[in-house]
Amino acid sequence: MQLVGQPIRKKDAMALVQGKPVFTDDLAPKDCLVVKVLRSPHANAMVKNIKTDIAKRVPGIEDIYTWEDVPQQRFTMAGQTYPEPSPYDRLILDRHVRYVGDPVAIVAGANEECVEQALRMIKVEYEVLPAILDFRKAKDNELLVHPEDTWKSLCPVGADNKRNLCACESSDHGDVDQVLADCDVVVEETYHTLANQQAMMETFRTVCYMDTYGRLNVFSSTQIVFHARRILSNALGIPKSKIRVMKPRIGGGFGAKQTVVAEIFPAFVTWKTGKASKMIFTREESQTASSPRHEMEVSVKIGADKDGRIRAIDVYTLSNTGAYGEHGPTTVGLSGHKSIPLYGSLEAHRFAYDVVYTNTMSAGAYRGYGATQGIFAVESAVNELAGRLGMDPVELRLKNMVREGQTMPAYYGETAKSCALDRCLLRAKEMIGWDEKFPCRDMGNGKVRSVGVSMAMQGSGISGVDVGSATIKLNEDGIYTLMIGAADMGTGCDTILAQMAAECLDCQMENIIVSGADTDTSPYDSGSYASSTTYVTGKAVEKACEKLQIKICERAAEMLSCTVDKIEFDGHRAKNLENGETVTLQEIGTSSMCGNECALQVTETHSSPFSPPPFMAGMVEIELDKETGHVEILDYVAVVDCGTVINPNLARVQTEGGIVQGIGMALYENIQYSDKGQMLNQSFMQYKLPTRLDMGKLRVEFEESHEPTGPFGAKSIGEIVINTPAPALAHAIANATGIWFRELPITSEKIAMGIARK
């Protein structure tokens, strides 16, 4: 292969490093209205009275909207394929406010100053209600987060608003209780992860304007242009055909922008006023009123024989979806379905869950999407099991891990057609020097060095649901345009999809123009989430290019007056094998624009009945200060099986970035609520992202497998990479201190206090 597998520079790289104006706010019309919302100071309250008359008199204010001004049909902001599993539980503005930060009024004005001033002059009288802040007390509580009868669930996910349930389910394979009762050793523990923020550097933002045809144009930092169009149609009560959604460059997504967080407010303002408007979230809003990871408490029972054969895993997850149900019914599934199948020879498993509403910020999609939480729990439990068995945790895994060709009952019954997990683990072990370093070494200066391990898996798209499409066309100068509805959010999918196209069409990267995403011009794509783009959209690109090449040959045959089977096309030139006459690609492109009835353009759509898991192993070496509890990461090694690596640079940086996010989740990124339900970590002062001083040395390698259903044998890479740090670090910390920390983040304070109490 010429281009697939090459470390090719991202197509937009030079524009980005030179700071060109390519992001949403850079491209906003200069005179557009500024939109902001007034947010509830209470975790649960009814708006009894709201006075906006004085605020409306602030010079420059265009209008102010309250719950009385918005459509009354409920919708979800979750960017998912219709019918969405997330319940329809939102209004644009609701009289019933359900968390500190819930919007109460929309203010639009000429500039930020007048809007800020008007926000301060709106008088709201609230009837403050008791709130449910502890998600362990939510199910069947007499207080209801969504008592309203207009609440609606479209899918059979076990949702019941009269029980504060956003979803519940139980599935099993074999008799778990019986197998566990028969095991020599059973580890039973509960693990708790918090509602981490994606904290992409570009906060949520959207610009809206009306076009020549009276249609609402929405220009937004989003991963999901097509879902956004449907959600806006549902929310505003206007036809989808009246809405166009486009995305420019996106300043990071990580799933945050798989929810329509900012779009609805400026869209409502522009639709009402006919004027262009924009909404730019502050960092505080992005921290306190957005779409973070679901807080989960995962209880694991894992049973094994004394020789280390893992026989059964039982997982129960309690997930906190917050005030609204975005991604609530779906994230939770991954906590079991993408943790239990790491172990290939289980006699039985069970996985049950409840997803509950509380009066905290609504959760959403964040890289890993529930798998991160489940893998922290299951991999920690496996490490604890190794301790109880007195076995090396790497040996225990080698004995029990899923292998290529095995069926995975907990993973929708799919077979692991491509799996190099064994090679990943062995290579990671070699890279870090596991045998010399496990479990720990006392350095004699109050510091201990130790190691920890974890495995991980994810999916590649949502099987049988996600749709990826590609349109490829030949232009007159022999250059192709590739149109996609997938969203490059910095990951480089524009580039890797162009690599695939160039590989199929035997041309240079420069000869592929990538265009997207725009609901008016892009072919339909579910969007970039669920680790789908490389695997699903990539296959659509492959299919479209193959068909276009046939059409090019047909056109060439016409030009060279021969049958198509006599044409040989090398990507640049088509040759009539009978007489050696040739035409160039440029000539073919030009000829297609004169007296031609066959479009040199193909659109192909792809969806897969499978979601082949990528696999990986992560190992960390830390130095822990026994006095202060400080953890310094010395070395992090990661070996990933994402099938064929399409672009080794981009795959490596995905891995490194995911690991550092995972380190933040494991050690620093805290979410704390006051007893009134205010989220306290509302800025980067209180929510500590890892800096380049915090991540130690990262080393990434790939162990390729070949996924037969993927484009060029590829699987996904985007999400799996965040899953190993939390369990590997918890393991290393336990090896250094003898204490198991089962709640994230494992801060220095917790470690120091734990050591002091011991």
Partner 1 sequence: MQISVMLNGKKVTEEIKPDLLLIDFVRNHGCYSVKRGCETSNCGLCTVFLDEKPVLSCSVLAARADGHAVQTLEGLQEEAAEFGAFIADQGAEQCGFCNPGMIMNAIALFRENPDPTDDEIREYLAGNLCRCSGYEGQLRGIRAFIEYKKQGGAVCS
With binding defined as CB under 8 A, does residue 178 bind partner 1? no
Which residue type does 439 have?
A: P
659 is a site residue for partner 1 (CB under 8 A): yes
**Contact status: 653 vs partner 1 (CB under 8 A):** yes
Query: Rounded to whole angstroms, how far apart are CA atoms 316 and 297?
Result: 8
Nearer residue to partner 1 within complex by CB, 253 or 439: 253
255 makes contact with partner 1 (CB under 8 A): no
Helix residue ranges, H only, 151-309? 176-182, 225-236, 264-273, 283-288
Does 249 sit near partner 1 (CB under 8 A)? yes
Q: Which amino acid is it at 369?
A: Y
Q: Using the rule CB under 8 A, is 534 a contact of partner 1?
A: no
Closest distance to partner 1 from the beta carbon of 367 (Å): 10
Sole binder of partner 1 in the list 79, 85, 109, 251 (CB under 8 A): 251
Contact positions with partner 1 (CB under 8 A) in 183-242: 198-203
DSSP labels for 47-116? EEEEE-HHHHTSTTEEEEE-GGGS----B--B--PSSPSS-B-B-SS-SEE-STT-EEEEEEESSHHHHH
Residue 59 engages partner 1 in binding (rule: CB under 8 A): no
361 CA to centre of own chain: 18
Q: Does position 120 bind partner 1 by CB under 8 A?
A: no
Min CB(374)–partner 1 separation in Å: 23
Smallest distance from partner 1 to CB 101, Å:
16
Of 308 and 690, the one with the shorter C-beta distance to partner 1 is 690
Residue 510 binding partner 1, by CB under 8 A:
no
| 12, 260, 538, 604 from 533: Cα distances, Å | 18, 19, 6, 14
Residue choice 123, 550, 683, 756 for contact with partner 1 (CB under 8 A) = 683
Give the whole-angstrom CA distance, residue 745 versus residue 668. Answer: 6
561 lies in the binding site for partner 1 (CB under 8 A): no
Could you say whether residue 15 binds partner 1 (CB under 8 A)? Answer: yes
Q: Which stretch binds partner 1 (CB under 8 A): 97-105, 303-311, 527-535, 678-686?
A: 678-686
Does 500 contact partner 1 by CB under 8 A?
no
Number of residues that bind partner 1 (CB under 8 A): 57
- The amino acid at 733: I
Of 14-22, 223-231, 475-483, 584-592: span binding partner 1 (CB under 8 A): 14-22
489 binds partner 1 (CB under 8 A): yes
24 binds partner 1 per the rule CB under 8 A: no
> DSSP letters along 419-433, please?
--HHHHHHHHHHHHT
User: Which residue in the block uniquely carries the two structure tokens 């505080």?
Assistant: 284
- Kindly tell me which residue out of 6, 12, 388, 476 binds partner 1, with binding defined by CB under 8 A: 12
Asked if 144 touches partner 1 (CB under 8 A), the answer is no
**CA nearest to 183, candidates 35, 357, 311:** 311
By CB under 8 A, is residue 76 in contact with partner 1? no
Q: How far apart are the C-alpha atoms of 443 and 731, rounded to whole Å? A: 19
Decide: helix, strand or coil at residue 229.
Answer: helix
Give the neighbor-by-neighbor strand order of the sheet with 631-641: 440-442, 447-457, 615-625, 631-641, 697-702
Among 5, 158, 174, 252, binds partner 1 (CB under 8 A): 252
Residue closer to partner 1, measured from CB, 332 or 638: 638
- CA torsion 114→116→117→121, rounded to 10°? 130
User: Minimum CB separation from partner 1 for residue 32, in Å?
Assistant: 14
Q: Out of 2, 20, 57, 123, name the contact with partner 1 by CB under 8 A.
A: 20
Token couple for 95: 């009289």
- Contact present, 376 and 338 (Cβ < 8 Å): no
Answer yes or no whether residue 692 interacts with partner 1 by CB under 8 A: yes
Place of tokens 């100071």: 41
Query: Is there binding between residue 627 and partner 1 (CB under 8 A)?
Result: no
Contact flag: residue 7 with partner 1 (CB under 8 A)? yes
The residue among 16 and 752 lying less far from partner 1, judged by its C-beta, is 16
Which of 695, 701, 739, 748 is the binder for partner 1 (CB under 8 A)?
695
Our finding on whether 658 is near partner 1 (CB under 8 A) is yes
How many Cα atoms within 13 Å fall on the side-chain side of residue 515? 15
CB of 695 to partner 1, least distance (A): 6
Touching partner 1, residues 268-307 (CB under 8 A): 282-284
CA distances from 263 to 259, 361, 627 (A): 9, 18, 48
Tokens representing residue 395 in the block: 């040996």
Binding span for partner 1 by CB under 8 A among 62-70, 339-347, 463-471, 689-697: 689-697
The verdict on 18 binding partner 1 (CB under 8 A) reads yes
Q: How far apart are CA 642 and CA 713, in angstroms?
A: 9
Q: What contacts 26, CB < 8 A, 6 or more positions away? A: none
Q: Which residues bind partner 1 (CB under 8 A)?
A: 7, 9-10, 12-23, 26, 198-203, 249-254, 282-284, 489-492, 647, 649-650, 652-653, 655-661, 683-685, 689, 691-693, 695, 697-698
